[in-house]
Structure 1
Amino acid sequence: MNAALWTAAGVLAVMFLLAGVMKLTKSQADLVASGQGWAGDVSPATVRIIGALEVLGAIGLVLPGLLDVATWVVAAAGIGLAVIMIGAVVTHSRRREYANTLVNVVLLALAIFVVVGRLGPEQF
């Protein structure tokens, strides 16, 4: 179970790190052109905040466990990323972007798996 939780956390960390860096480095127009149409509906600051939270969440999923310091942050990061994914599911569903919605649902499920595992039977 521990290996599955580490794998899920690693996959999530990579996905959110890439997504977050993209939101922090690309312009709104570039994001919209790359299929992230929602970025055109919010302020540039909102896009950057979401990107920063995704990067912080990615770091929080793996670094505390690797260093064996403040390991509660792993579950907290998972909760935060799950909240972001709930917002993403709602946003993409409203825009009828079902492929993006499916990806967000999978990421949400992985985040919940990590949270439940790290708060429950496989605590550090």
Structure 2
Amino acid sequence: MNVALWIIAGVLAAVCLIGSAKMFVPRERMAAMSSAARWVEDFRPGALQALGAVELLAAVGLVLPAVLGIAPVLVPLAATGLVLLFAGAITMRLRRGERATITGDAIYLVLALFVAWGRFGPESFTG
């Protein structure tokens, strides 16, 4: 199970690292990339940068504390934060009527929930 938690944390970190591009890419360009990214038009550039920063911190928090052995309790806390982030993403997509794109966010939410449960519980770094 420890290996599965590491793999899932790595996948989530990669997803968040890619998602943190919101900090650098203009929202008009992001909206033009695909129809699934049109949601960025509802947010101000500052809000998108804040979301990108949160995703960058989550990517770092999912992996680095455990790898370095410094405050590994941050791993399940970062995963819990991602659960909240993806729950917000699902809520936003429901409000916009984008039901077809909810699947990805729901999968990421479940994966983050699994990492949080696993690292707080049976495969805790402290126990």
**CA positional deviation for 1:31:** 1.3
The aligned counterpart of 1:30 is 29
What are the residue-to-residue correspondences of 1:73-84 with 2, within 5 Å?
73-84=74-85
What CA distance in whole angstroms lies between the structure 2 residues aligned with 1:74 and 1:119? Answer: 9
TM-score by length of 1: 0.95
Post-superposition CA distance 1:10-63 (Å, at most 9, x none): 00000010111x201110101111231111111110000000000100000000
TM-score by length of 2: 0.93
What CA distance in whole angstroms lies between the structure 1 residues aligned with 2:100 and 2:72? Answer: 33
Give the RMSD, CA atoms, in angstroms: 0.9
What CA distance in whole angstroms lies between the structure 2 residues aligned with 1:88 and 1:114? Answer: 18
The aligned counterpart of 1:55 is 56
What are the residue-to-residue correspondences of 1:36-115 with 2, within 5 Å?
36-115=37-116
Which runs of no fewer than 5 residues in structure 1 stay unpaired?
none
**CA positional deviation for 1:105:** 0.3
Q: Alignment partner of 1:29: what SS?
A: helix
Query: Which 4+ runs in 1 deviate beyond 4 A?
Result: none
Q: Which amino acid aligns with 1:49?
A: A
The number of residue pairs the alignment matches comes to 123
What CA distance in whole angstroms lies between the structure 1 residues aligned with 2:100 and 2:18? Answer: 18
What CA distance in whole angstroms lies between the structure 1 residues aligned with 2:106 and 2:38? Answer: 18
The aligned counterpart of 1:9 is 9
Which runs of no fewer than 5 residues in structure 2 stay unpaired?
none
Q: Which amino acid aligns with 1:29?
A: E
Identity among equivalent positions (%) equals: 40
More displaced stretch, 57-66 vs 87-96: 87-96
